[in-house]
Structure 1
Amino acid sequence: MTATSTKPDTRMHGQAVAEPVSVLPSPAGTSHSPSARDRLARLAAHFLPSRFTSDSPPNFAEYDYVIVGGGTAGAVLADRLTEDANVNVAVIEGGPSDIDNDAVLDLRRWMELLGSDLDYDYATTEQPMGNSHIKHSRAKVLGGCSSHNTLISFRPLKEDLDGWANDHGCPSWSARTIQPYGDRLKLNTVPVAPQHRNHVVRDWVQAASHATGAPVLEDMNSHIVHGNQSAPFQQGVGFFNISYDPNTGQRSSASVAYLHPIMPGGPRARPNLHLFLETWASKLDLEANETDGRLRAKGVHVKNKHGHSFTLNAKHDVILCAGAIDTPRLLLLSGIGPRTELQQLGIEVQADVPGVGENLQDHPESIIMWETRDTPAETVMSSDAGLFLRILPQRGEPGSNKLPSEPTSHPGPDMMAHIYQVPWAEHTGRLGFDVPAHAICMTPNISRSQGRGKLSLRSADAQDKPLLDFRYFEDEQGYDARILVEGIKIARKIAKEPCFARHLLREVAPGPKIQSDADLSAYARSVAHTVYHPCGTCKMGSTATDPLAVVDEADMRVRGCSNLRVIDASVFPAITTVNPMLTVLQVAEAGAERIRNEVWKARWQREAAAKITVQPNAGIGREEQQVQLRQQQELEEQRRRSKQSDKRRSVGTNEPSVSLMSASDLARRARG
């Protein structure tokens, strides 16, 4: 996924900008036998629109929709919108394809991607209360972070979505409305398969359950979505739900699930989908509407790896799916953002939208590491199990006046911990702790961090990386730091359980000398890391009542813009308790359906209006015809909503709940 051009970094071994090419380079070690050449030609066809095979596509290229970012959300939008054969979609993706790239597709190899040429590797600004050395891995490959992360896949908690609806001005994003979209996701999401559960992690699961009282859950998603409806999900331990093929260990990413089947050469290839890989967006092409003053996004200015610049024009919408870092970055570079900040950088202000880049959120984590007696057996991705707990009291509960309590009434778990079967020593080693050859570690993280940071531009140069100030551990109550302190204490308690203790030699970090809460807090913050879950930088809400809402929650359009939408993790008003990938996918499914419904409604109205114009009823006047048209439209809207409601009640379908009908179908229904 990507939005904007970036200077090559010494840590990145690839070009900064690129474009589709007519022949793919041979991977290292590839045979040039006829079969290999045939395979490369087939792969090239996956990426190349047949009308654009030159190094410089024409400037007049126009599509119904231009999607910026072929990542987790962009893949869903590309698939769902091109289900209508009458719609042409262009996808701009800064990275290469993932097809036949084993380093990407083999889930076990995910750590090889960190800091590689497929990683934007964004740095944080100075963090006075935490770790200033955190790197935020962002994927530069088709499929985005779903092609780059561990694919831990949790459905959002009911309380998270209802919080969006009730506390953040997003009434159309309640759990009742959004959870059904999770049932149509195309990823193959399953609990870690038995053959990928090694004995050390099995023992840790039992030890964690015994030490904390958390129940062992075989299928966490089933419990989250379909568990005890009379009580909220608060705790549980077990192997994760992940999106992969248990037989091969290959990813079931957004790219694999949504894009591969519809690319040329796939089983359901669609000629109306055009992918521009290794192509970077630098700025939006905007114009003001003279009638209402709103901005219209005419298209997107892009640049390829050869330095050729061109524009992809949008007949209907430009949809930003570049993620919580690159989506606000592109808006700011295009003159949409806080007026004062833009003026200070010499960027012409197109729309004063003060919320762009604000509300930056993440899941910070810390670490406790033990040296082990031997090397744990390799598993599917070395972080296969975890623990959810409620540690601190809710606001108003007994004890909430003695300990930092969560400022909201959210009843869900406030800490989640991974168990890693590798030495995660990047930050402990920097502080002088040992890096043993064989180690295992727990990484407690803050499920609903109270930190609210800010993304801003370093300069008006699209090649400069943005400034990311997460403001880690700067919440006034000290809630975030307290969660990590308690998390380390719980980890030590688990380590005393005999079934897990038998695998351990010693605690390496923080080590037995660090015991007081103050010392544990200082340690936990100094080695803190990220779970790579930035979100919230273009938050949705009511643009009529919330001055910091960037995106209107009803139609996902950017404030003051008629056809510019944002559909990705940047629209989250508040971070989810769990890993956000499936929530991003559900947001994308919902966003795609809202766009499709608008298309369907507009198409029906045109057809109905044409019917009256072409076949006037001589027996009634024009006003009566218009009344009949409105009545027909209202009836169709009622039927559509009824059909949509019926579809949402069905479980497990991958099909959209509202399909686009042909003009003849619409006419027949109108006559009926």
Structure 2
Amino acid sequence: MHSRSFTLLGLLLILWQCPSTGAKFIESLDPSEKYDYVIVGSGAGGAPLAARLASYGHRVLLVEAGDDQTDTYQYRVPALNLQASEFVPMTWSFYVTHYNDAKRQRQDSKMTWLTPSGQHFVGRNPPRGSTPYGILYPRAGTFGGCTAHNSMITVLPDQSDWQAIVDMTGDDSWAPAKMKKYFTRLERNRYIPSSYHGHGYEGWLTTSVTSLKFVIQDFKFTHMVLGAAASVGQGIGKIITTVHGLAEVFLRDLNSGLPDRDRRDGLFQMPLAIRDGARSGPREFVMEVMGARQENGEPKHHLDILLNTFVTRILFDKDDQGEKSPRATGVEYASGQSIYRADPRASKDRDMPLRPDGIITAQREVIISAGAFNTPQLLKLSGIGPREELEKFGIPVVVDSPGVGTNMQDRYEATLVAKNPHRFKLTSRCTWMKSYPDPCLENWKTSTPISKRGGYTTSGLVLAMLKRSSVSVDATPDLFISGAPAAFTGYYPGYSYDAFKDPTYWTWIVLKAHTRNRAGTVLLRTSDPRDTPIISFNSFDTGTNENREADLDAEALVEGMMWARKAIRNVPKFPSPFWEVWPAHRARTAEEMKDWVKKEAWGHHASCTCPIGADDDPMAVLDSSFRVRGVDGLRVVDASIFPKIPGYFIVLPIYMVSEKAADVIHLSTYPVSN
């Protein structure tokens, strides 16, 4: 297949003590500026946190290693999310392993190598002398982080995900009902009437669903929905050639506020972070806060953003007497583009030393929001991590914290791809910006209303199915299955082009949620901050498997794949049938499929590498208030904070955590008794 909440008095006190002088993108630091909080990383954790803290009256500096690409079509156009992940100005390409055994790892058809000629080769049999890279794991080094290229899927986690943190830490502020309030605060829902309970309608993140008119316009797409509905006994006998009929096939709201929400299965329309046909994200919240003005026209808040600034180390004020914990005072940084070697444009010259350009000081706290890979890397480079690993690289130990860079978790995902000779009408004229003019892009730019702007107004993921496998826990659906008109088989260099070069393909994407594996690691490769870490997921039986966890996860994934196969077979054969092309003959039986998913499964929700935990847990890097244990003035707010990977798609849980962190931090400075 391959070729590749706070008091008014408290707020007034802040505004009096810290008069606002502006909010802006800055190119360099003003030595006279004093920031309360320095936040490293502008992704799903850092950007909302920065905006919310600034809106509370704090002086905030948000530091980002990349630049701002949010005016590009790759960012703005929902359908170009795959292209955005390989858009060189914003991409950070990590290469990871699922297995440490090289022989086993190379059985993955997505295995990537660097050939002697300096080219990427994808496959099992590279040219002689090629260097193994691993499996591509696209991340984003740009303003907005991975919210700049994600598929915009916006799905609430289960209540049990939050309750588990309460049970672990004894901190009731994580209770599900309290966490749900952060969702309603951040959401600006545009697909449910405002009288419906459980949603927000005035927040910063616009959520919508793809108009069913798009599906009706495409006969082939409609047939795919019918095949899926037939496979779950949903919609049989319904008339689906009208919008009303099609709506009856779907359950209404995947993010419902109903008590049984976490137990429902079946077909749903996909909630997406899309506003008027364009990507919605924390960027909009940041810009709203920066653009807010007082009655006299002066900026209302103080939020500065420093781009192209690569943080190399966290700085600490240490008590020589050892009577107080070290306190984070700021960060050391280097200025410039493409410094980090996950950036395809970065220099690989190892003879060129990295010279820091300066220091940024935080008056109150430093907050790291660099993501599941870079946050543990930065902590370790700063002396917080497993003692043995730090000493190996000559890094002075600030805190011996053995849990940093462990406990890494992800989903397991696999796809089933099918085709028939007829093109999908929605995408048949799209060039995906590989050639110009691109009729679909022109339609997106010029047409009104939105229902006439074409397929580029959606991510392509119109429908979702929740399904319980036979090995699910507590009757909670553990399979999230979505479909798209594409040929997507995972991540490798060039995948975003291959997925759409032929508009006759359909892909069912099977995601195993609530995975049991906690064995992934992020280890330092060198002490050079520019080098990417060694990222090993230790999948399936090479990871957590004391009680058949690996087999249970694999079995669930197989059931999802078999459902997808059934859905393809249930597609009406008029005008012509679909045939499966991936995995097809490579996995005919359930047993063969189990072996195949162990070779081919991947994920893209890496998390849990600096987990919150109980006070008596030596592996707990953070307390329940996001504070790094063993030091003062340092917190982490991003995907790495979870003790166990939440829900189905991780971006919304991170947004909710970011909003919570803002309140925790604000109230720790101005107690609620004020």
Q: What's the offset of the Cα at 1:500? A: 7.4
CA contact (8 A) 1:205 1:238 kept: no
CA contact (8 A) 2:310 2:333 kept: yes
CA contact (8 A) 2:91 2:138 kept: yes
Alignment correspondent of 2:316: 286
1:525 aligns with 2:496: no
Q: Deviations over 1:85-128 (max 9, x none)?
A: 4x211110112123422221111111112233211111113624
1:149 aligns with 2:157: no
Alignment correspondent of 1:192: 210
Residue identity opposite 2:568 in structure 1: A
Q: Deviations over 1:444-473 (max 9, x none)?
A: 121012222111110111011011111122
CA change 1:498–1:194 in 2 (3 A) is closer
Q: Which of residues 345, 354, 366 in structure 1 aligns to 2:393? A: 345
Q: Deviations over 1:593-633 (max 9, x none)?
A: 111112222xxxxxxxxxxxxxxxxxxxxxxxxxxxxxxxx
Q: What's the offset of the Cα at 1:195? A: 4.1
User: Mean alpha-carbon deviation: is it higher for 334-343 or for 484-493?
Assistant: 484-493
Tell me the distance in 2 between the aligned counterparts of 1:471 and 1:504: 39
Q: What's the offset of the Cα at 1:371? A: 1.5
1:304 aligns with 2:338: no
Q: What's the offset of the Cα at 1:487? A: 1.4
Q: Which of residues 535, 540, 547 in structure 1 aligns to 2:618? A: 547
Percent identity of the aligned residues? 26
Unaligned runs of 5+ in 2: 5-21, 112-133, 187-203, 236-248, 338-354, 428-454
Q: What's the offset of the Cα at 1:169? A: 5.8
Residue identity opposite 1:446 in structure 2: K
Q: Which of residues 502, 506, 522 in structure 2 aligns to 1:440? A: 506
CA contact (8 A) 1:201 1:385 kept: no
Alignment correspondent of 1:275: 305
Q: Which of residues 404, 409, 413 in structure 2 aligns to 1:365? A: 413
1:389-538 to structure 2, matched below 5 A, reads 389-394=467-472, 409-425=473-489, 438-452=504-518, 453-474=520-541, 475-476=544-545, 477=548, 478-499=551-572, 504-512=577-585, 514-530=587-603, 532-538=604-610
3-state SS, counterpart of residue 180 of structure 2: helix
> In the comparison of the two structures, how many residue pairs are matched?
532
3-state SS, counterpart of residue 82 of structure 1: helix
1:251 aligns with 2:279: yes
Q: What's the offset of the Cα at 1:516? A: 2.4
Q: What's the offset of the Cα at 1:384? A: 2.4
Q: Which of residues 383, 404, 411 in structure 1 aligns to 2:461? A: 383
CA change 1:426–1:325 in 2 (3 A) is closer
Alignment correspondent of 1:221: 254
User: Mean alpha-carbon deviation: is it higher for 148-157 or for 75-84?
Assistant: 75-84
Tell me the distance in 1 between the aligned counterparts of 2:360 and 2:509: 44
1:136 aligns with 2:184: no
3-state SS, counterpart of residue 138 of structure 1: strand
Residue identity opposite 2:641 in structure 1: V
TM-score by length of 1: 0.73
User: Mean alpha-carbon deviation: is it higher for 556-565 or for 291-300?
Assistant: 291-300
1:263 aligns with 2:290: yes
CA change 1:172–1:84 in 2 (3 A) is closer
Q: What's the offset of the Cα at 1:359? A: 0.8
Tell me the distance in 2 between the aligned counterparts of 1:388 and 1:230: 13
Q: Deviations over 1:457-492 (max 9, x none)?
A: 101110110111111222422122212211111111
CA contact (8 A) 2:94 2:532 kept: yes
Q: Which of residues 224, 230, 245 in structure 2 aligns to 1:210? A: 230
Alignment correspondent of 1:84: 56
Alignment correspondent of 1:96: 67
Tell me the distance in 1 between the aligned counterparts of 2:500 and 2:370: 39
1:36-47 to structure 2, matched below 5 A, reads none
CA change 1:483–1:271 in 2 (3 A) is same
CA contact (8 A) 2:67 2:307 kept: yes
CA RMSD between the two structures: 3.0
Alignment correspondent of 2:77: 106
3-state SS, counterpart of residue 122 of structure 1: strand
CA change 1:219–1:343 in 2 (3 A) is farther
Residue identity opposite 2:302 in structure 1: N
Q: Deviations over 1:306-351 (max 9, x none)?
A: 7761111011010111111111111011010011111112111110
CA change 1:305–1:139 in 2 (3 A) is same
Tell me the distance in 2 between the aligned counterparts of 1:500 and 1:177: 49
CA change 1:381–1:430 in 2 (3 A) is closer
Q: What's the offset of the Cα at 1:218? A: 4.5
Q: Deviations over 1:279-321 (max 9, x none)?
A: 1110001122456431210101111117761111011010111
3-state SS, counterpart of residue 419 of structure 1: strand
Tell me the distance in 2 between the aligned counterparts of 1:178 and 1:495: 39
Tell me the distance in 1 between the aligned counterparts of 2:179 and 2:386: 31
